[in-house]
Amino acid sequence: MNRMKPSKQTIQLLNRIALISGIVAFILCILIIANYIQVKRIDPLNTPAMTVLLDRLKSNPGDDALRTEIRELDLLSRKAFFTSWWQIRTGGYILLACVLVIVICLKWIELIRPKIPPPPEPVKEDFWDQRKTRQRWIIYTGIFLVAGSLILAWLTYTEIGKTLYRQEIARQGTDSRQATDSLERGPDIELTINQLQRTGGQDSTPVTGTDSESDATQSGTTPGNADLEEQSNGPQQAFPSREEILSNAMTFRGPDANGVVNGKNFPVSWNGTTGTNVRWKTAIPLSGNNSPIVWKNRVFLTGASTTKREVYCIDAGTGKILWQTDVSAIPGTPSTAPKVDRETGLAAPTMTTDGQRTYAIFATGDLVALDMEGKLAWGKNLGLPKNHYGYSSSLIMYRNLLIVQWDQAEGASVKAFDGTTGKLIWNTPRDVKLSWASPILVNTGNRMELILSADPCVVSYDPASGKELWRVDCIYGEVGPSLAYAGGYVFVTNEYARLAAIKLGNPPQIAWESTDYLSDIPSPVASDDYLFLVTSYGVVVCHNAKTGEEYWVKELDNSVYSSPVLVDGLVYLLDKTGIMHIFKAGKVYQPVGEATLGEGSVCTPAFAGGRIFIRGEKNLYCIGN
Amino acid sequence: MKKGIALTILALLFAWQMISTFAIQRFPKPEFESGYITPETLLPSPRAEILEVLDVAVLLLALSVVTWAVLKRRSRNLVFWISVFSLAYFGFYREGCVCSIGAIQNVTMALFNGSYIIPWTVLVFFMAPLLFTLIFGRTFCAGVCPFGALQDLISWQPRTIGPRLNAVLGIIPYIYLGLAVLYAATGTDFIICRYDPFVGIFRLNATFGMFLFAGVLLLSGLFLARPYCRFLCPYGVLLNWVSRFSKYHLTITPSVCIQCRLCEDSCPYEAIEKPVTVKNPDSRKRMVRKFMLIVLLSPFFMLLGGWTGSHIHESLARVNGKVRMAEEILHPKRIAGQSETIEMTAFKASGKPAKELYAEVTGILREFYIGGWILGGFVGLTIGGLLAGRLITRYRTDFEPNRGTCFSCARCVDYCPVKTGTGSIEL
């Protein structure tokens, strides 16, 4: 055989080339991996510097120099990002080239070295032993595969099959029942199959004790709908009349929590700095983004820090703090405050009252009831809400029931507690994602409905029993704005999703939609004819409530987090700098007044007794002529 | 020296590929305030039919030539050169597509999905190597498959891995084949293509993870010859089966084995069967009894495998995008601060009712449940078959290639001192 004569020098040279290439390849490998990890950890569009600049721009949108600075930083970040990627890619190519050089060198060496070895030394034949070993290891592999697969199945089990199977059964059952009991089932039988599937799933466990307040469910039997009606209408159960509800500001965004307020002759001009039309101003000890509520001559609100949670009662006439109660020591409360977004805070949900007690909830999941003198009636921890921005859904009362929208990342539900005892009356699981919206109460003419919005739907419940009445899939994303209602239409919106008007009926249907201007924080407000939507970046849009036609768009100078309030034919809209924009609720934009608070605010004002109560960053203001 | 030149040519091809890849480096479309209109993105036109015919012609020609080189010329050098050509053509020029390994999925999809029409070129790429193997052994692996050629090139100091690892790793291709068929049959994904480690190298474009996978395979390929072909390739399973029946398989010696044992350690793939001269310590009766036991237990293995597969069907189904979507809707687990997936956003934007998705997913899960039984049964049958195969003994006096696992690379031929046809010895 002709073999190339080995040349020691050539082999040595090739060995060296291979070695050098190997070292370069190794160094490159380390550098590429390090660069890759670094690039993966950096989001070029959300660097801390960029976030700071964007925050500054939000509060000062007219700053052109700042805009230029942001653009430059953005360009720089992108350049750096893509340069890193280029480095990784180029490094990869060089690495591959090095590997190729190594391969060539090694192959070359292989070629010029003698190839055919001498006959191997005879070894003891172990053919049969090897065969047995192989058999054994095939069996071991089989056992491992079975065990490994079962463990994997167990670890990754998500019940999706069971869930879908249940839904399939529910759908089939619903379809078969549909023809026979449509009269008994009422309007929801006409809903779409999807809605029925979900409703079926929800109705199966109307009251459960899965949350940390399970002691409440175990401590007594859960009444059925009839029992509940009897209980709630019983003579011992006193709750405010409709007149009282309308004349006070008992909940977030007015009597039914939809932004529409009764009353007349509210001030249209004031100045917090000079004191014009400011009846009093009181510093609130602890901060909070909740709005004040008003019952007769008392104003209530909450504040919280990482170590303390307090409820305040303020004399509506003088501004004097009548009492402040520390409610930090509720059994089950977490030892450390949850990490929440700065703009949400630890006391974002607005309180509510039934005239006998006031109720508050905090980002820790602490739900408390205090009598009108500030004494703790009952308190419980509902569990730490799984909410990365912080819990913010406000409370609402229906008769004697305190209703909590408990939307969180896992195990969302809506709950009703007996206001007197704190006992859980009903608890309806919700297959929605976490949200920051608050519930509204709607009188449809036939019945009262508790309506909630969260990704992916708007859902109506019977407020007495928690039974789901209808649902419309129409919303998605991180839902912050609450609903609006007027004239038989429910309005829902969320940024990046849509603005939709749902016409109540049998079944409820989406009457119109728009995606032009959407809100992520302020809730819309509606009259029978107009819908007013405000974006957080300060654009006000007026739509025809029934057709969706866009009447006008007004761009404010400042951003807005507070929700607009419709009262006496006027819309009151407070921007983040504390300027109240007042305009007529009409087809054209007609400003009526512009009043300055003197400090920034993100809270929705409360209107009662001809006075407006506004919570600023530090102080509570009472505005009155 | 010739091989060195060949490798240098490959290096040049590689460099050319790098330059062309630089040219298509992409950046997000910028927004211009000056009114500049970004040109419309043009999609590459499909490959011309004449070029597809060329691909098939090249495949058939390469198969023919390599078969001739292996069986007639018995020339390892020629096989090497053909494999270099295949690597250049099917690998770097055709970028690993169309390939016979991936064609398994197209064929499966065509069988299970009536609306899918398999391109004739893909069918040829699937069938031709099998037909050649049925007649001539795995000559496709020897010099036509670009994956094999690439691994063959980098094989430097191959080591044996012993019976234990061989037994364990040898089962993986069967599982991979089963999974590939399952996912293709359910229209879920072409996992062979998605997790193809070498296509990224041919295109110089892959995810970091896939590059890493390819790197690990190639590095291990320095010491473990053709790791992908032996312990992963699903097409190799089919070729292994078919090759056992090949009529004209490569032989180590062209004439009569003179028992010189020069070839004993020549195969880097451990595919040479050594002479079996020592009698089985177990009696024949006992061996027959063992064999019958394995045969009788095989249905049990299949049932156990099927039962296991049915239990894991939901996990298997999660590779399907629709299943993942339904899961995201039904069991949202969004991590704090993490936005929803782009697929979910697209689904919502499409306005498609969730009930339609649920109905589809219910059907998919049902398919996976049945597929899980079949996949598990197949793996169970494979294990039974491998065990039974170990009990069949054929006494040999000569060194012979294992017809199933031999890649017909003709390395061992060089080690045989017997001259073609004459029985004389070449020194």
How many angstroms from the chain centroid is the CA of residue A474? 16
Question: Which pTM was predicted?
Answer: 0.55
Q: Which two tokens stand for residue A529?
A: 């004819």
pLDDT at A584 over 50: yes
Tell me how far apart the alpha carbons of residues A458 and A463 are, in angstroms, rounded to a whole number. Answer: 15
Please tell me which of the candidates B167, B175, B281 has its beta carbon nearest to residue A128: B281
Map residue A336 onto helix, strand or coil.
Answer: coil
B383 contacts A142? CB cut-off 8 A: yes
A92 contacts B355? CB cut-off 8 A: no
pLDDT of residue A371: 92
**pLDDT, tens digit (0-9, with 9 covering 90-100), for A77-100:** 888 888 988 888 888 889 888 888
User: Residue for token digits 């280029």?
Assistant: A86
Tell me how far apart the alpha carbons of residues A608 and A296 are, in angstroms, rounded to a whole number. Answer: 8
Is the CB of residue B383 less than 8 Å away from at least one CB of chain A? yes
A410 contacts B327? CB cut-off 8 A: no
Please tell me which of the candidates A116, A157, A409 has its beta carbon nearest to residue B334: A409
Which chain A residues are closer than 8 Å to B164 by Cβ? 133-134, 137
pLDDT of residue A264: 87
Give the alpha-carbon dihedral of B336, B341, B344, B346, to 10 degrees.
130
pLDDT at A2 over 50: no
Min Cα–Cα distance to chain A from B58, Å: 26
Q: What is the DSSP annotation of A92-127?
A: HHHHHHHHHHHHHHHHHHHHHS--SPPPPPP----H
Give the alpha-carbon dihedral of B413, B418, B421, B423, to 10 degrees.
-160
From edge to edge, which strands make up the β-sheet containing A321-326? Answer: A293-295, A298-304, A309-315, A321-326
**pLDDT, tens digit (0-9, with 9 covering 90-100), for A5-64:** 557 788 888 889 989 998 998 899 889 888 888 887 777 777 888 888 888 888 888 888
Is the CB of residue B26 less than 8 Å away from at least one CB of chain A? no
User: Residue for token digits 């296991």?
Assistant: B308
Angle value at C-alpha A300, between A297 and A305, nearest 5 degrees: 155
Q: Report DSSP state, residue A497.
A: S
Please tell me which of the candidates B11, B282, B358 has its beta carbon nearest to residue A167: B358
pLDDT at A4 over 80: no
Tell me what the pLDDT averaged over chain A comes to.
83
pLDDT of residue A186: 31
A473 contacts B387? CB cut-off 8 A: no
Which chain B residues are closer than 8 Å to A82 by Cβ? 27
Contact A611, A624 (CB under 8 A): yes
A110 contacts B383? CB cut-off 8 A: no
Q: Which one, of A473, A493, A472, lies nearest residue A482 by Cα?
A: A493
Contact B125, B146 (CB under 8 A): no
For residue B356, give the amino acid letter: E
Min Cα–Cα distance to chain B from A144, Å: 10
Q: Which residues of chain B have pLDDT under 70?
A: 1-34, 331-340, 420-427
- ipTM for the whole complex: 0.75
Alpha-carbon distance values, A445 to A239, A255, A488, A510, B350 (Å): 21, 17, 9, 20, 35
Q: Which one, of A586, A486, A600, lies nearest residue A540 by Cα?
A: A586
From edge to edge, which strands make up the β-sheet containing A525-526? Answer: A525-526, A530-534, A539-544, A550-555
- Cβ atoms within 10 Å of A344's Cβ, excluding its own: 20
How is chain A split into domains, by residue range?
8-112, 162-199, 205-623
pLDDT of residue B40: 72
pLDDT of residue B255: 86
pLDDT of residue A223: 32
Q: Report DSSP state, residue B26.
A: -
Contact B327, B315 (CB under 8 A): no
A433 contacts B1? CB cut-off 8 A: no
- Indicate the pLDDT class of residue A229, thresholds 50, 70 and 90: very low
Min Cα–Cα distance to chain A from B384, Å: 9
Alpha-carbon distance values, B114 to A218, B163, B171 (Å): 57, 43, 31
Min Cα–Cα distance to chain A from B142, Å: 18
How many angstroms from the chain centroid is the CA of residue B277? 35
Please tell me which of the candidates A119, A145, A157 has its beta carbon nearest to residue B314: A157
Is the CB of residue B349 less than 8 Å away from at least one CB of chain A? no
Please tell me which of the candidates B311, B331, B354 has its beta carbon nearest to residue A150: B311
Which chain B residues are closer than 8 Å to A1 by Cβ? 426-427
Cis omega before residue A278 (within 30°)?
A: no
pLDDT of residue A167: 60
Map residue A584 onto helix, strand or coil.
Answer: strand
**Cβ-based neighbours of A187, under 8 Å, separated by 6 or more:** A469, A470, A506, A507
Please tell me which of the candidates B11, B163, B340 has its beta carbon nearest to residue A130: B163
Minimal Cα distance from A6: which residue of B?
B1
Please tell me which of the candidates B7, B332, B362 has its beta carbon nearest to residue A107: B7
- Indicate the pLDDT class of residue A221, thresholds 50, 70 and 90: very low
Alpha-carbon distance values, B367 to A398, B32, B310, B330, B363 (Å): 48, 49, 10, 20, 6
Map residue A542 onto helix, strand or coil.
Answer: strand
B265 contacts A120? CB cut-off 8 A: yes
Please tell me which of the candidates A159, A161, A194 has its beta carbon nearest to residue B355: A194
Which chain A residues are closer than 8 Å to B75 by Cβ? none
The pairing of beta strand A357-361 with beta strand A619-623: unpaired
pLDDT of residue B23: 43
Which chain B residues are closer than 8 Å to A143 by Cβ? none
Q: Which one, of A149, A154, A163, lies nearest residue B365 by Cα?
A: A163
Minimal Cα distance from B162: which residue of A?
A130
Burial (CB count <10 Å: 0-12, 13-18, 19+), residue A190: middle
Tell me how far apart the alpha carbons of residues B215 and B254 are, in angstroms, rounded to a whole number. Answer: 38
A137 contacts B164? CB cut-off 8 A: yes
Min Cα–Cα distance to chain B from A116, Å: 6
Range 168-227 of B in CB contact (< 8 A) with A? 168, 171, 175, 201, 204, 208, 211, 218, 222
Q: What count of CB pairs under 8 Å joins A to B? A: 189
Higher pLDDT, A214 or B270: B270
pLDDT of residue A582: 95
Tell me how far apart the alpha carbons of residues B41 and B29 are, in angstroms, rounded to a whole number. Answer: 10
Map residue B270 onto helix, strand or coil.
Answer: coil
Phi first, then psi, for residue B78 (nearest 5°) are -65, -40
**pLDDT, tens digit (0-9, with 9 covering 90-100), for A292-304:** 999 999 999 999 9
Q: Report DSSP state, residue A508.
A: -
pLDDT of residue B332: 61
B304 contacts A388? CB cut-off 8 A: no
pLDDT of residue A569: 92
Tell me how far apart the alpha carbons of residues A490 and A452 are, in angstroms, rounded to a whole number. Answer: 10
**pLDDT, tens digit (0-9, with 9 covering 90-100), for A563-578:** 999 999 999 999 999 9
At the fourth CATH level, the homologous superfamily of domain A205-623 is YVTN repeat-like/Quinoprotein amine dehydrogenase (2.130.10.10)
Q: What is the mean pLDDT of residues A483-508?
A: 91
Phi first, then psi, for residue A105 (nearest 5°) are -60, -45
Q: What is the mean pLDDT of residues A540-559?
A: 92
